[in-house]
Amino acid sequence: MILIDEDENSSKMNNINHNSSKNDIDRLIIERYVVGSSTFIFSFTTFLLYVLCLKIIAKLRRRSSFYKLAFQIGLSDVGQLFLNGVATSAFLIFCAGGENPMPIFVQRLAGGLMGVFWFSNGFLVHCLAFNRFLNVYFLVKGRKVFTGRNTNIVIVFAWLQGLVWLMLYMLPDARFMYNMRFYTYVYGSSAASYRNSTINFWVNIFHMSGLLLWHFLILIKIRRTPRLLLQETSHVNPNVARRRRERTIKALMQCLLLCSLYMATIVTFHLVQWTPVHRFWSLAANSIWMLCSGANVLVYVTLNR
């Protein structure tokens, strides 16, 4: 398990072995420049595109609960992109060869905010999958469940439980901070950090199981009833019905792609946290995490033209 000591992130060169040769240290500094620069280009570009995409989605929020949930998921994605991509990559570039200038409290706060965005995102993604399930199996009743008022309640609850995670991460002996040695966020070695890591695992398993269940049932229903999505539109113009079916299928494709990335992030994140891995493996896991946060903008743009 990758666990950091309380003061590891504040130590010089972030635990670079001072007995290493100058060439080894120089290579590591160059490596951090490369990782930081490439991460910054991807995360900052995606961050800007996502903000523009959210401006469009914001105008569609009144149309359906899907867009309301998608907008809130986008906000949590943008937060993760900034903290896990833009901020950490700039940190790698400017601090590659020196001491970590950031106070422990600031690093802990960044980790806590990552918890807010991640767990709010997970809850909202789960609700989005359940929303699609209801629309496929119980189209009319599903709309009654995800009314504007009920959707707003779901959104408020999602962010409130995210704030609970912020409080857990900010407990005096809890640690969840970005580690330059592994190029990702890792938990500390205290009992509180271990407890948070364990709870994190089971919450993620719950959401991942829910996503698998809802989408498995959706795919079964669509496979057995190809014209299910036209059940409410049989009395209208065939072209209108076809366009409605296409929009619904696109929404389902969004959910499937989004949830696939979410599950890949969960699996790789916990593999890094619980198993001894090379720093390039943890970098790959963190890259998947950023891809999960940033690829949604590509999904929204390509599937909503």
Q: What is the pLDDT along the chain (305 residues), one digit of tens a residue?
A: 555 544 444 444 344 555 556 777 778 888 889 898 999 999 999 999 899 888 888 887 777 787 888 889 989 999 999 999 999 998 888 887 766 677 889 999 999 999 999 999 999 989 888 888 888 778 677 777 888 888 899 999 999 999 999 999 999 999 999 988 888 999 988 899 999 999 999 999 999 899 889 888 887 877 665 554 445 444 555 665 566 666 666 666 766 777 788 888 888 998 888 888 888 888 899 999 988 888 776 666 555 54
Q: Considering the entire predicted model, what is its pTM?
A: 0.82
Amino acid 123: pLDDT: 93
CB atoms within 10 A of CB 151: 21
- Report d(CA 169, CA 164) in Å as an integer: 9
Amino acid 9: pLDDT: 47
CB atoms within 10 A of CB 106: 11
Amino acid 242: pLDDT: 64
Q: 21-303 maps to which CATH number?
A: 1.20.1070.10
Amino acid 202: pLDDT: 94
Amino acid 239: pLDDT: 63
* Cα dihedral 259→277→162→71 (10° resolution): -40
**Phi-psi label, residue 72: left if phi above 0, alpha if psi -120 to 50, beta otherwise:** alpha
DSSP, res 84: I
Amino acid 19: pLDDT: 52
